[in-house]
Amino acid sequence: MTSLELAKKAARLLDEKKAMKINVLKVDSISSLADFFVFATGTSNIHVRSLTDELEEKLKALGAPAPRIEGYRSNSWILLDYGTVVVHVFTGEAREFYDLDRLWADGVKLDWEGE
């Protein structure tokens, strides 16, 4: 699975679990951290954790490598690092506070729903 396919699949899986404000950014030209960032918002701390649990399980079943996970205990911002794709799942308050969408606004926003 390419990094583009992984990013789009992650966005679709998050959407199926009712994540909100899903945003996929292509950042390879402005960062060496990853090729793509996926941002999503959960409705509560429990929803954030269930989104990341489901995403990790489904992507593993599709052959994606096991991600490095940060923030699992906090439940307000959980990061899943797949190497070329980094998925950030926030509560609404955490997403507003950290405002990564603004910080990475130079990235190219992808239409993950259109294909």
51-109: pLDDT as tens digits: 999 999 999 999 998 899 999 888 799 999 999 999 999 999 999 999 999 999 999 99
Evaluate if residue 114 carries a pLDDT over 80: no
Domains and CATH numbers, the chain: 3-110 (3.30.460.10)
- Whole-number pLDDT of residue 33: 86
How far is the C-alpha of 100 from the C-alpha of 62, rounded, in Å?
28
The model's confidence at residue 115, banded by pLDDT at 50, 70 and 90, is: low
- Whole-number pLDDT of residue 17: 95
Tokens 């992984």 identify what position? 6
- Whole-number pLDDT of residue 83: 93
How far is the C-alpha of 58 from the C-alpha of 51, rounded, in Å?
11
